[in-house]
Amino acid sequence: MPNEVEPLDPIRIKPNEKRRVAYFYDSDVGNYAYGTGHPMKPHRIRMAHSLIMNYGLYKHMEIYRAKPATKQEMCQFHTDEYVDFLSRVTPENADLFAKEQVKFNVGDDCPVFDGLFEFCGISGGGSMEGAARLNREKCDIAINWAGGLHHAKKSEASGFCYLNDIVLGIIELLRYHPRVLYVDIDVHHGDGVEEAFYSTDRVMTCSFHKYGEFFPGTGELRDIGVGKGKHYAVNFPFRDGIDDDNYKSIFEPVITAIMEWYQPTAVVLQCGGDSLSGDRLGCFNLSMHGHANCVKFVKSFGLPTLVVGGGGYTMRNVSRTWTYETGILNNKIVGPEIPYNDYYEYYGPDYRLEVRPSNMQNANSREYLNKILTQVLQNLSRTKFAPSVQMQDVPRDAEDVGDVEEDTAEAKDTRGGSQQRRDENVEATGEFYDDEDATGGKNVMEVDYSQV
Ligand SMILES: [Zn+2]
């Protein structure tokens, strides 16, 4: 039973877990600025990169500068008119696009800034190329700290995000992978990614976030997907102040259950740094080690994994944590001293790598967490007939039916559960694998986006 809270184990590295890591970085990324006073600062990616290099992690991974995502690539998810707008609007001509700015939610939170479109191209290019390298088995782990912009919608900017690099990366993975798991540890709900794949069982989205009077306002426990995607969206709503041990006591059983029931063949992990203690916008109390434990845990399943950034508004802590996590992904523990680097002065007065928790109150009671965990695990057990995985015909348990008290749509929607429906999926997914000759030798699974 999930009643016990186990203390966080010290993170240990097993040498035989070494995997090939591709790291994507574009040295232009730190030059883009949302505007004075705006909390989102791409500079933090450059700070992380400088730390990563000065810890010597470049010796252990392959470093790439991705080709920026093209308009055509962006339109695999976003609408043509939205991408066209992003490519044309500048601070100088913004007045001419007044109507479009309202329509596409560009303005206050998501301002028009110099180089906006290039910034989107860098973020998207890293996640797409990372996914492509994973697909071709050129690496086991791909890292793009400039990605993770999970709020962007098909035709709308949101929450400092314009281009949803994660959705683009997942679409790329779906060309080869029958089932992709998306895990989001940003303090905010991963709404843009969830929405994009809400009605498909080929992507399971799992977001752990603050819920209740907090941006973006979505991500309730009862939001579990619709149609074929029912039970393939997982939301864990936290209250303020969740700490390392309690986070781990939820994260590990939920991810374990997903791995067992859903059996993903690839993973995308969004590592938003605003779930760290002391974040300018966040309200959680995770230390660097508590945050990195999620990375270590997901890595331990040994699946092809795309790791992306996300939120994070106390820059020195974001760069610390993403550096430490880059180490974990390379099977290296870095720290505790900060090595000399281009941004050394940011890390005073102690010049240590650690991000410590504060004494803030944890508003998540054990009773609350256990109640939600029980419900999430119960929902997950309904995905037992994972698409394209051959399963025996097991009758559904009586208690499996109709006991999601908050889910009023349960009675209306019966499409997700029937064995016949699942069998159809098993057959259908085979069709996605073209043979080499038919696809110019690339062995590519063509994804019709309207189907996913
Ligand atoms: Zn966030």
Bond into 216 cis (ω within 30): yes
Q: Does residue 7 fall inside a structural domain? A: no
In a domain, 294, yes or no: yes
Q: Which residues does the annotation place in the binding site?
A: 109, 159, 186, 188, 274, 313
Is residue 421 over pLDDT 80?
no
As residues whose CB is below 5 A from the ion ligand 1, the structure lists: 186, 188, 272, 274, 311
What would the pLDDT profile of 252-280 be if each residue is shown by its tens digit? 999 999 999 999 999 999 999 999 999 99
3-state secondary structure of 161: strand
Ligand 1 centre distance from Cα of residue 331 (Å): 27
Confidence of residue 382 (pLDDT cuts 50, 70, 90): confident
Q: Is residue 74 part of a domain?
A: yes
Please report whether residue 10 resides in a domain. Answer: no
Residues of the chain with pLDDT > 70, as a percent, come to 81
pLDDT per position as a tens digit, 149-200:
999 999 999 999 999 999 999 999 999 999 999 999 999 999 999 999 999 9
From the list 206, 255, 256, 211, the residue with the least C-alpha distance to 234 is 206
Cα of 106 vs centre of ligand 1, distance in Å, is: 18
Q: Which two tokens stand for residue 108?
A: 């206050």
Domain span including residue 267: 15-451
CA distance linking residue 111 with residue 403, whole number of Å: 44
Residue 4 maps to a domain: no
* Structural domain contains residue 2: no
How far away, in angstroms, is 312 Cα from ligand 1 center?
Answer: 6
For 12-67, write each residue's pLDDT tens digit: 665 556 689 999 999 999 999 999 999 999 999 999 999 999 999 999 999 999 99
CATH number, domain of 225, equals 3.40.800.20
**Looking at the domain assignment, is residue 258 inside a domain?**
yes
Confidence bin at 406 (pLDDT 50/70/90):
very low
Cβ neighbors of 126 (< 8 A, separation 6 or more) are 24, 25, 26, 66, 144, 146, 147, 165, 308
Annotated binding site for substrate: 109, 159, 313
- Region 280-301: mean pLDDT is 98
Q: How far is the CA of 306 from the centre of ligand 1 (A)?
A: 18
Q: How many CA atoms lie within 13 Å of 122's alpha carbon, on the beta-carbon side?
A: 21
Backbone angles phi, psi at 402, to 5 degrees: 70, 25
Is residue 403 scored above 50 in pLDDT?
no
Q: Can the peptide bond before residue 264 be classed as cis, meaning omega within 30 degrees of 0?
A: no
* Cβ neighbours for 285, distance < 8 A, ≥ 6 positions apart: 241, 242, 243, 244, 277, 357, 358, 360, 362
From the annotation, which residues make up the binding site for a divalent metal cation? 186, 188, 274
Task: pLDDT band for 383, please (50, 70, 90 cuts).
Answer: confident
For residues 171 and 76, is the Cβ–Cβ distance under 8 A?
yes
CB-based contact 343:50 (threshold 8 Å) = yes
The answer to whether 177 is a known catalytic residue is no
The pLDDT value recorded for residue 434 is 31
Let me know if residue 170 belongs to a domain.
Answer: yes
Q: Is residue 438's pLDDT more than 60?
A: no
Supply the angle between the helices 244-262 and 288-299 in degrees, to the nearest 10. Answer: 20
Cβ-contact 99, 112 below 8 angstroms = no
* Paired residues of 286 in beta bridges: 276
Cβ neighbors of 168 (< 8 A, separation 6 or more) are: 69, 73, 74, 76, 77, 124, 127, 128, 131
State the distance from the centre of ligand 1 to the C-alpha of 260, rounded, in angstroms: 28
Buried residues in 211-224 as b, exposed as e (16+ CB within 10 A)? beebbeebbebebb
Write the DSSP assignment of 182-208 as a string of letters.
EEE-SSS--HHHHHHTTT-SSEEEEEE
Average pLDDT over the chain, rounded to an integer: 87
pLDDT above 90 covers what percent of the chain?
80
Q: Which of 151, 177, 189, 209 is catalytic?
A: 151
Q: Is the pLDDT of residue 314 over 90?
A: yes
> Could you tell me the maximum CA-CA distance found in the chain, to the nearest angstrom?
63
Query: Greater confidence, 411 or 208?
Result: 208
Would you place residue 384 in the very low, low, confident or very high pLDDT band (cuts 50, 70, 90)?
Answer: low
> For the chain, what is the domain count?
1
Q: What is the pLDDT of residue 215?
A: 98
